[in-house]
C-alpha cells in the first residue's frame, strides 16, 4: 500500500511538473529572479500610446488574456498608433509571445525615445521584427533578409531561426547588457551585436536609419535608455506573456 502511494505521488508530481504555466503569470522562481509582468492579461496598466498620455481608445484590445492590435489598412502607426511602456529600460531581459495572422507585420522596439517632433511613422527605436516572412512584402526588402522575423530590423538578419507557422505562438526575447544585445526566437539566439560599435555604425550607415532625421538627437540606436514599444502596422497581431527583468 505504501509503495502504491509513493508511486501515485510520484505520478502526481510528474503531471504537475509538466503542466504548462498559466499565461501572463510569474512563477515563484521568476519572482525571485526579478521578473515583472509588462502585461497582466486583464488591463493595459503600464502602457500608453506613443507620444500620448493615455492608452489608445480604439484598435488595441485586451481579450481572453491577449493584447491584440486590430487589423486596419496595413499602414505604419497611422490607424491606431504604437503603444509604449510607461517605464524606460537600459539593461534588461525581455520576453514576449506573439502570434501572427496571415500576411501580418508588427514589431517590438526597444530603446525608444520620444524626441520631438513626432515622426510621421513609428517612433524611433531598435526593432525585433515580427512578420509573416512568406506573405508580407517587407521580408524581401532591405538587405539579405534583414527585415524578416526575429531580425534587428533593416540592420542584422536573424540566422538559423525556426519560426512556428502563422497562427501559432512564437516566443521572442531581447537581452541588453551594456552595449551587448541579443535577439532570441523560440529559445535560439538568432542575432547578436554591440550597440555603438564600429560594425553597428556601418550597418546603420547602409540602412534607412542613415537618414538625418533618425540621428537628429544623437546616433540612431545608441540612447542610454528607452521605452519598450509594440507596433501598429495595420495588421492583426496578438501578444501575451510580456515579461521583463532589469540586469
pLDDT at site 139: 96
Task: Please report the pLDDT score of residue 78 as a whole number.
Answer: 74
Domain assignment present for residue 47? The answer is: yes
Per-residue pLDDT band for 63 (boundaries 50, 70, 90) equals very high
In the Cβ-directed half-sphere of 4, how many Cα atoms lie within 13 Å?
Answer: 1
What is the per-residue pLDDT for 16? 46
For the stretch 76-85, pLDDT in tens is 767 899 999 9
In-domain check, residue 9: no
What pLDDT does 58 receive?
A: 94
Q: Is residue 233 part of a domain?
A: yes
Q: Can you give the residue range of the structural domain that contains 131?
A: 24-246
Look at residue 3 and tell me if it is in a domain: no
Q: To 5 degrees, how large is the angle CA 48–CA 60–CA 222? A: 45
Measured in degrees and rounded to the nearest 5, phi and psi for residue 55 equal -75, 145
| 84 assigned to some structural domain | yes
Establish if 10 belongs to a structural domain.
no
In a domain, 7, yes or no: no
pLDDT at 74 over 80: no
CATH number of residue 220's parent domain: 2.60.120.560
Contact 214, 226 (CB under 8 A): no
How far lies 15's CA from each of 5, 11, 20, 78, in Å?
15, 6, 10, 47
Please tell me the distance from the alpha carbon of residue 67 to that of residue 228, in angstroms, as a whole number. Answer: 15
pLDDT of 19 = 66
pTM, entire model: 0.91
DSSP 216: B
Cα separation values, 1 from 4, 8, 13, 14, 15, Å: 5, 10, 18, 20, 21
* Rounded mean pLDDT, 42-48: 98
Distance, in Å, from the CA atom of 109 to the CA atom of 111, rounded to the nearest integer, reads 7
Residue 229 counted as domain residue: yes
> CA 102 to CA 94: how far, in whole Å?
25
Q: How far apart are CA 243 and CA 241, in angstroms?
A: 6
The full DSSP string for 23-61 is TT---HHHHHTT-EES--SS--TTEEETTSSS--SSSEE
> 99-137: per-residue pLDDT in tens?
999 999 999 999 999 999 999 889 999 999 999 999 999
**Coil/strand/helix, residue 117:** coil
Tell me the HSE value of 131 on the side-chain side, using a 13 A CA sphere: 24
Q: Provide the number of structural domains found in the chain.
A: 1
Amino acid at each position: 500500500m505504501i509503495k502504491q502511494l509513493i508511486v501515485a505521488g510520484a505520478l502526481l508530481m510528474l503531471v504537475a511538473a509538466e503542466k504548462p504555466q498559466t499565461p501572463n503569470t510569474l512563477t515563484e522562481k521568476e519572482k525571485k529572479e526579478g521578473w515583472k509582468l509588462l502585461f497582466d492579461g486583464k488591463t493595459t496598466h503600464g502602457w500608453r500610446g506613443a507620444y500620448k498620455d493615455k492608452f489608445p481608445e480604439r484598435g488595441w484590445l485586451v481579450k481572453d488574456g491577449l493584447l491584440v492590435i486590430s487589423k486596419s489598412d496595413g499602414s505604419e502607426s497611422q490607424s491606431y498608433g504604437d503603444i509604449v511602456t510607461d517605464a524606460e529600460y537600459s539593461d534588461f531581459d525581455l520576453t514576449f509571445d506573439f502570434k501572427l495572422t496571415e500576411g501580418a507585420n508588427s514589431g517590438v522596439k526597444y530603446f525608444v525615445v520620444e524626441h520631438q517632433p513626432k515622426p510621421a511613422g513609428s517612433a524611433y527605436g531598435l526593432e525585433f521584427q515580427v512578420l509573416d516572412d512568406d506573405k508580407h512584402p517587407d521580408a524581401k526588402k532591405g538587405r539579405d533578409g534583414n527585415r524578416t522575423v526575429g531580425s534587428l530590423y533593416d540592420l542584422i538578419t536573424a540566422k538559423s531561426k525556426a519560426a512556428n507557422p502563422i497562427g501559432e505562438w512564437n516566443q521572442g526575447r531581447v537581452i541588453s547588457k551594456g552595449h551587448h544585445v541579443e535577439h532570441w526566437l523560440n529559445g535560439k539566439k538568432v542575432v547578436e551585436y554591440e550597440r555603438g560599435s564600429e560594425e553597428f555604425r556601418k550597418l546603420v550607415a547602409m540602412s534607412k536609419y542613415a537618414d538625418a532625421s533618425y540621428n537628429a538627437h544623437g546616433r540612431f540606436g545608441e540612447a542610454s535608455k528607452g521605452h519598450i514599444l509594440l507596433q501598429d502596422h495595420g495588421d492583426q497581431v496578438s501578444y501575451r506573456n510580456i515579461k521583463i527583468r532589469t540586469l
